[in-house]
A and B are shown apart, each in its own frame.
Chain A
Amino acid sequence: MSRLCRLLGLMMVAGALLLAGCSPRSNLRSDPNAEIRFWNGFTGPDGATMEKIVKQFERETGIRVKMQIIPWGTYYDKLVLSLAYGDAPDVFICHANRIAEFARYGVFRPLDDLIAADRGFRVDDILPNIWQAGQYDGKQVGLPLDCHPQGLYYNLKLFREAGIVDAQGNPKPPETWDEFLETARKLTVDKDGDGRPDQWGFAFTWLRTNWITFISQHGGSILSEDLRRAALNQPPAVRATQQMCDIIFQHRVAPKPEGFDSWMGFRQGRVAMAIEGIYMLSSVEEQKGLEYAGAPVPSFGPKRAVWGGSHMLCMPKGISPQRAEQVWRFIRYLSDHSLDWAEGGQVPVRRSLLNEPRFRRMRVQHAFAKQLPYVVFEPASHKSTEIMPFYDAAIEAALLGIRTPQDALNEAARRIQQVLDRP
């Protein structure tokens, strides 16, 4: 019998060990003296910039902040689980295009009362189109820290070599479709005469965002205005996609986006122009020997538009009132100091800062910032993330020449509609 008892004892120890792992973790701590937990995905040089601002905030206010940087690749997975099962941070970054997806499930603590109570904070200082991207269902759930629009990066040396300069001899970026085409033609060079260009005038980098810029300029969109119908197979979007294909197949001034690392090509001077986000600035800055500049994206279609994203500062639902006030101070501080943040390759969204001489000196940021009034985000649908793979696939198929733009977009539209129709 004693052996049985020993065995039972062993089992109980094992059971106790198992249960020890079960102790529930506390969710949002209400201790006002505890540090603010801040999650973001700034793994690059922007992380160091943010770190500096956070340190400064701690010194000035005495409130401690614990910043956790999680690579964007796994960031949202961790965020979703922390919001769903506890352990959520007190303040976190959410991209503008994912606000609706999260807000639909009510995971945010709306900021309206905090904004109203803060008399020093002027809402009208923030660009309205970007301010609105932080809203869902009439509530302000995110405060835009910045905006990261696309812009035209161009290689100064290659422009000069090809004689594309203005009256003062400065390289001149294209502004219209015709200028763009002419410039790209001049910059596409086959040096060794093997029939394959060694230098390309242009290259598509991130297909999805490049495409959104193109279709928006033609007046197209991914979804209808009420976000209920797929619109990407309508004539404007098809026309824009065709134009992108023409750049590759008809005018032959850009490589097929296959087996060619376009952005690396730009960095290494094998591509003269590329349309990329302002967040790529640090990557060209560190490229030795590259002379570059930034300009607004040329007009490919009748409308002015350019794809952009924005980092929104958000709070989780269930945060205690005192804590929320502390966090608001922090959010407000970050917004007030978004010029420091801009140094790391971002564009502030406060009008008062955009005109500061210090911002003018950030040349690329300043050039890209001119486009802020007509920045286009991905559709503010809560299914935005879910429908992404469908148009990604369509764009790829079209630009590789596997399908015609109309066919590829029809297929994507059909699948997107299925997703939209689902409750």
Chain B
Amino acid sequence: MKALSLPAQKRHEALVGYLFIAPYLVLFVAFVLVPVVWGYFISLHNWHVLGDQKPFVGFANYRALLRDDLFGIALLNTGYFALLTVIPGNVVSLLLALGLNARIRAENVYKAVFYLPVILSVAVVAIIWRWMYSTEFGLLNYYLKLLWQMFNLPGEFQPVPWLNSPQSAMPSLALMSIWWGAGGNMLIYLAGLRGIPEEYYEAARIDGASTWGRFWHITLPLLRPSLLFCLVMSLIGSSQVFGQSYILTGGGPHYSTLTVVLYMYQTGFSLYRMGYACAVAYVMFVIVLGFTLLQFRLLSARGEE
């Protein structure tokens, strides 16, 4: 290789650099950057796929969203789903992690079992749980009935309608989603727990702190970064819930499981009103962005302590 002068070398390095990022960058521009900008552009139009003209309508789609009953329902339902999954789901993950952290035998087996559902596709999960939730033949109602009889509860056991009633459909989807996802956060909590130095507990034990006291005053505060991370990530994840209701309930019964992304999907890909669907997507984006900024703030607040 001939020795190059410094500027030439720099130029050469820059050229190589561009060549290296070029293939990725082309795809990044085509399938991330352009869609983000174009999506906003579309949301300002009355954009039906069959329309020759796609007239510019300004913020009319967004204004219509404000008055749209179903969008309101979808927002509320999504919030309800988040409420039902984020806190209970993280409690489950944390409990599992605490159990795993108690130096039990065959820890890896337990860990694998709890994590297993995470690797399944939402379609597989939905198919399994559709059967679990079957009113007549489902395992859940079968074992609930057994428990009912075992504890001699009063009256006859009434099968739970799970996915078939507007009251229980969303909680059913939430239960399924907790089962599906708990293992992921569990691992993060476990790593967090393992990162807490043993000396802290020793010191507390010498001070005579109870198990509960140690959990409350040592474990929880020191787990704060993991907690924050998992809570916000769950929140972001649950605000995008789609597959569960798309496959299992189609948004029903009586709109009880219509979520924001499902509404976007239906508007965009059943009615082909792309402009309106993009407006839905952008409102969702703003909400998720809010959660993300919240996370940054919380995390940086921790840094200042």
Knowing A80-B272, A402-B254, say if A418 contacts B52 (CB, 8 Å): no
Q: Contacting chain B: which of A99-107, A182-190, A325-333, A359-367?
A: A99-107
Report the interface size for chain A: residues with CB under 8 A from the other chain: 28
B202-246 contacts to A, CB under 8 A, are none
User: What separation, in Å, do the CA atoms of A85 and B49 have in the docked complex?
Assistant: 9
Chain B stretch 251-277: residues in CB contact (< 8 A) with chain A: 254-255, 269-272
Chain B residues near A414 (CB, 8 Å)?
Answer: 69
Question: Min CB distance, A26 to chain B, in Å?
Answer: 20
Is B302 on the interface with A (CB-CB < 8 A)? no
Given contacts A386-B271, A397-B254, A402-B254, contact A105 B19 (CB under 8 A): no
Interface residues of B in 30-55 (CB under 8 A from A): 46, 48-52
User: Scoring A residues 3 to 40 as 1 if CB is less than 8 Å from chain B, else 0, what string do you get?
Assistant: 01000100100110000000000000000000000000
A362-392, CB under 8 A of B: which get 1 and which 0? 0000000000000000000000011000000
B contact residues around A415 at 8 Å (CB): 69-70
Closest partner residue, chain B, to A85 (CB atom) = B49
Q: How many residues of B contact A (CB 8 A)?
A: 26
B57 at the interface (CB under 8 A from A): yes
**In the bound complex, how far is the Cα of B23 from the Cα of A262, in angstroms?**
58
Residues of A74-132 at the interface with B, using a CB-CB cut-off of 8 Å, are 77, 80-81, 83-85, 102, 105-107
Q: Mark A389-403, 1 if CB is under 8 A from B, else 0.
A: 000010011000010
What separation, in Å, do the CA atoms of A8 and B269 have in the docked complex?
39
Query: Bound complex: CA of A28 vs CA of B52, how far in Å?
Result: 17
A83 and B50: CB pair below 8 A? yes
- Residues on B with C-beta less than 8 A from A385 are 271
User: Roughly how many angstroms separate A259 CA and B52 CA in the complex, as a whole number?
Assistant: 45
Q: How far is the CA of A77 from the CA of B46 in the complex (A)?
A: 19
Of the candidates B50, B67, B69, the one whose C-beta lies within 8 Å of that of A84 is B50
Residue B305 lies at the interface, judged by CB distance under 8 Å to chain A? no
Q: Taking the complex as formed, is A423 at the interface, i.e. its CB lies under 8 A from any CB of chain B?
A: yes
Q: Could you tell me which residues of chain A, from 244 to 292, have a CB within 8 Å of some CB in chain B?
A: 259
B255 CB contact (under 8 Å) in A259, A386, A393 = A393
* Residue B60 lies at the interface, judged by CB distance under 8 Å to chain A: yes
Find chain A residues with CB under 8 A from B1 CB. 1
Residue positions of B touching A, CB distance < 8 A: 1, 16, 19, 22-23, 46, 48-52, 57, 60, 64, 67-70, 135, 164, 254-255, 269-272
A-B pairs, 4 with minimum CB distance: A105-B50, A84-B49, A84-B50, A415-B69
Residue numbers of A with Cβ under 8 A of B are 1, 4, 8, 11, 14-15, 77, 80-81, 83-85, 102, 105-107, 259, 385-386, 393, 396-397, 402, 414-415, 418, 422-423
